[in-house]
Amino acid sequence: MREELLAIIERNSRIDLKELAVILGAEEIDVVNELQALEDEGIICGYHTMIDWEKTSIEKVSALIEVRVTPQRGQGFDNIAERIYKYPEVTSVYLISGGYDLLVTLEGKSLKAISGFVSDKLSTLESVLSTATHFILKKYKDHGTILAKKYEDTREKVTP
Amino acid sequence: MKDMLSKQAVGLKPSGIRKFFDLVSEMDDAISLGVGEPDFDTPWHIRDEGIYSLEKGRTFYTSNAGLKELKEEICKYTERKQGVKYDPVHEVLVTVGGSEAIDVGMRAVINPGDEILIPQPSFVSYEPCAIMAGGVPVIIELKAENEFRLTAKELEDAITDKTKLLVLPFPNNPTGAIMEKKDLEEIAAVIREHDILVMSDEIYAELTYKEKHVSITQIEGMQERTILINGFSKAFAMTGWRLGYACGPRPILEQMLKLHQFAIMCAPTTSQYAAVEALKNGDDDVAEMRTAYNQRRRYLMNAFREMKLECFEPFGAFYIFPCIKEFGLTSEEFAERLLEEEKVAVVPGTAFGDCGEGFLRISYAYSLENLKLAIGKIGAFIQRLREHK
C-alpha cells in the first residue's frame, strides 16, 4: 500500500481520507495509521501547494545558482550547505556531481534582491570559490505538472 | 440502378453505439462515461519513436505481415507475459487494430454455413464479421449470476456438428468480466472434445485487477487451435495508431496474411515503429496506467455499492456493468433519460447484444474528478427514479 499511497498523495495531498481508502482498497483506519507512520519516519516531509505565481499580480523572481566551494576537512560539504540553506530566500540546495558542487535555487522579490543576495551574502562566504546565476524566465513544467496547458479530453464522446 | 447494394451488407444491423453517439454529440456539455478507449495519451517515448521514424523518412510500406523487428518483439512479449511461444516468421500478423484481425481471422477459417459461437454481451464486431465471412453466428447469452463468464455447460449446449469457431472475448468489453485459469480449463475440455477452433480476443489482457491475465493459449492443447488477437490500443493507450496483431497456427496465419495483403497491404508504418518501442520499453507505463484504472474501478464499485445499485465486481478491462432492472426501464430508456435529465452519457447494455438488456456499460477511462462529477449526477437520477416508483 505504501508505494501506491505515496504516489497518490504526491500528486494530490488534499485527497479526502475516505476516498483515499476506497481507491486503495484499504480500511480508512489503516490508511490513517500508515500516513502517521510515514510522517513519523520523515518520509512525508510536508504538504505543500503548487502555485503558478506568474498568474498572480505578485512579483516573484527565481534563479538557479551554481556554486563552487572548497569542502572542509571532516565536514565535507555539509557545513557550507547548512550556511546557505538557512537563508529563508533559498528554496533548495542540492549537492551535485559534475562541473560545480552545489545547486541553489532562490526566490526573491526582484532581480535586484537576488543579485544582492548573491553578491553580498553567497559570494562572500569563505569557502565559496565562484557562483554562476541563472534567472528563470518561464516555467513550463514544475513538480511533474505542466503549467503551460490544461488537459482537454479530445476523444469522441461514445465509442465501442 | 436496380439492386445497387449487397443484401448481406444491408442486412447487417447498424451498431447500437452509433445511434447513441448521435444523441450525445448533439449535446455540448454532456459528461460522458461512454468511451471505449483509454484517457491517457500514448506515453511520450512511444510517440517520440513514431515522430523519429517520420523524420528518418520511414514512410514506405513494410512487408505485408509487418516489420520483422516488431514481429520478433511481439513474440518476445507473448512469451514474457504468457509463456507461450510463436514463430515470428510464420505465426504472427500485424494488423490494423485488433478489429482487422477479427475480420481476416474469421474469413480465413469460415466456410458457408459454419456456425460461429459468440458469447454476448461482447464487442460489436464479432457478429457482423461472422456474417460477412459467410458464417452463421450463434449467440451464447452470458449470465450475470456467473459474473458473465462462459461456462462449460453453456458452451456444450451451444455446440452442434456445424460449429467451427468459438469467439472468446475476455477480459470483456462491456462487462469487465474475466476468465480465470480454472474457467478456461473447463471450457478447454469441451473445445478439445468437439474439435473446434478458438478466436481469443485478448486486447484487454494487460488490464486485469485480480491475478495476472491467463490466456487460453496457455491451456494444454489450445495454442494449436487458437487465433490469439491482441494489440496496442488498450494496453499502451494507442487507439488512434490503429495497430493490432494475430498469432496462431501457421496454416491459418498463411490464409490471414493473404486476405490482409489483398485488402490492406500492410499496417501503418509509423505505428509499427512506435509499437516496437512500446513493447521494448513500455512495461512501466502499462503498470502505471493499470494502477490508475484500478483506483477508479474501486472508486466506482464503492459508489455503486453506496447507491445500492446491483453490480458484480468486474476484474478486467475498464468497464463496470451495473444492473438497472429494478427501475422498470429498458437500458435504452434509462440511458436516454440519464442523458436528457442529467447530461451524463453511458452506453445501454443492449448495444453489445440483446442479453445486455437491463444493464449499462460504464467506462472508467476517465479521471477521478470526472467520475466523481458523473457519479453525483447518476446518484441524483437514481434517487429520483426510486422516489417516483
Predicted confidence at residue B151, as pLDDT, reads 98
What is the band of B128 on the pLDDT scale with cuts at 50, 70, 90? Answer: very high
Cis peptide preceding B171, ω within 30 of 0: yes
B305 and B298 Cβ atoms separated by less than 8 Å: no
More reliable by pLDDT, B228 or A156: B228
Distance CA B88, CA B74 (A): 8
Helix axes B97-109 and B250-263, enclosed angle (nearest 10): 120
**B45-281 in CATH: which number?**
3.40.640.10
Check if B124 contacts A (Cβ < 8 Å).
Answer: yes
Q: Does A144 score more than 90 pLDDT?
A: no
A70 and A130 in a single domain? The answer is yes
Q: Does B369 score more than 80 pLDDT?
A: yes
Element (H, E) at B381: helix B368-387
A82 and A105 in a single domain? The answer is yes
What is the band of A117 on the pLDDT scale with cuts at 50, 70, 90? Answer: very high
Predicted confidence at residue A76, as pLDDT, reads 86
B178 and B133 Cβ atoms separated by less than 8 Å: no
Q: Which of B32, B291, B302 sits opposite A4 (nearest CB)?
A: B291
Interface-testing mutation among B17, B19, B35, B372, with chain A (most A C-beta atoms within 10 A): B35
Q: Does A149 score more than 80 pLDDT?
A: no
A6 and A85 in a single domain? The answer is no
Q: Does B1 score more than 90 pLDDT?
A: no
A63 and A119 in a single domain? The answer is yes
A13 and A76 in a single domain? The answer is no
B57-78: average pLDDT: 98
Q: Which residue from A111, A113, A119 is spatially nearest to A137, judged by alpha carbons? A: A111
Residue A138 maps to a domain: yes
| ipTM of this complex | 0.84
What is the band of B16 on the pLDDT scale with cuts at 50, 70, 90? Answer: confident
Range list for CATH 3.90.1150.10 in chain B: 7-42+284-384
Predicted confidence at residue A143, as pLDDT, reads 85
Q: Which of A8, A23, A158 sits opposite B35 (nearest CB)?
A: A158
Residues in chain B closer than 8 A to A4 (CB atoms): 291
H-assigned helices in B195-324:
250-263, 269-281, 283-307
Quote the DSSP letter at residue B104. Answer: H
Check if B37 contacts A (Cβ < 8 Å).
Answer: yes
In angstroms, the first-to-last Cα distance of chain B is 54
Residue B302 identity: N
Distance CA B199, CA B104 (A): 11
B342-352: average pLDDT: 96
> Nearest residue on chain A to B293, judged by CA atoms?
A23
pLDDT digits (tens, 9 = 90+) for B32-62: 999 999 999 999 999 999 999 999 999 999 9
Q: CB-side exposure of A91: number of CA atoms within 13 Å?
A: 12
- Per-position DSSP letters for chain A, written without gaps between them: -HHHHHHHHHH-TT--HHHHHHHHTS-HHHHHHHHHHHHHTTSS--------GGGSS---EEEEEEEEEPPBTTTBTHHHHHHHHTSTTEEEEEE-SSS-SEEEEEEESSHHHHHHIIIIIITTSTTEEEEEEEE----SEETTEESS------S-SB--
Check if B39 contacts A (Cβ < 8 Å).
Answer: yes
Rg (CA), chain B: 21
Predicted confidence at residue B301, as pLDDT, reads 97
Mean pLDDT of chain A: 93
A29 and A63 in a single domain? The answer is no
Q: Which of B15, B25, B299 sits opposite A157 (nearest CB)?
A: B25
What is the band of B249 on the pLDDT scale with cuts at 50, 70, 90? Answer: very high
Quote the DSSP letter at residue B243. Answer: -
Distance CA B235, CA B232 (A): 6
Distance CA B350, CA B360 (A): 8
Q: Does B25 score more than 90 pLDDT?
A: no
Quote the DSSP letter at residue B150. Answer: P
Q: Does A55 score more than 80 pLDDT?
A: yes
Check if B217 contacts A (Cβ < 8 Å).
Answer: no
Q: CB-side exposure of B144: number of CA atoms within 13 Å?
A: 17
Q: What is the CATH number of the domain that holds A25?
A: 1.10.10
Predicted confidence at residue B273, as pLDDT, reads 98
B117 and B159 Cβ atoms separated by less than 8 Å: yes
Q: Does B126 score more than 90 pLDDT?
A: yes
Predicted confidence at residue B58, as pLDDT, reads 97
Residues in chain A closer than 8 A to B344 (CB atoms): none
Subunit contact B295:A23, Cβ cutoff 8 A: yes
Range list for CATH 3.40.640.10 in chain B: 45-281
The nearest CA of chain B is from the CA of A92 a distance in Å of 29
Check if B20 contacts A (Cβ < 8 Å).
Answer: yes
The nearest CA of chain A is from the CA of B296 a distance in Å of 6
Predicted confidence at residue A148, as pLDDT, reads 76
Subunit contact B345:A157, Cβ cutoff 8 A: yes
B133-160: average pLDDT: 98
A31-50: average pLDDT: 96
Rg (CA), chain A: 21
pLDDT digits (tens, 9 = 90+) for B185-216: 999 999 999 999 999 999 999 999 999 999 99
Subunit contact A160:B17, Cβ cutoff 8 A: yes
In angstroms, the first-to-last Cα distance of chain A is 34
Q: Which residue from B207, B216, B132, B138 is spatially nearest to B173, judged by alpha carbons? A: B207
Q: Does B389 score more than 80 pLDDT?
A: no
A11 and A90 in a single domain? The answer is no
B148 and B177 Cβ atoms separated by less than 8 Å: yes
More reliable by pLDDT, A73 or B48: B48
Q: Domain span at residue A127?
A: 53-142
A9 and A68 in a single domain? The answer is no
The count of domains in chain A is 2
User: What is the separation of C-alpha B203 from the centre of its chain, rounded to a whole number of angstroms?
Assistant: 6
Q: Does B178 score more than 80 pLDDT?
A: yes
Q: Do you know the residue count of chain B?
A: 389
Backbone angles phi, psi at B76, to 5 degrees: -65, -45
Q: What is the CATH number of the domain that holds A138?
A: 3.30.70.920
Subunit contact B39:A155, Cβ cutoff 8 A: yes
A62 and A136 in a single domain? The answer is yes
The nearest CA of chain A is from the CA of B283 a distance in Å of 17
Q: CATH assignment of B7-42+284-384, given 3.90.660.10, 3.90.1150.10, 3.20.20.70, 3.40.50.300?
A: 3.90.1150.10
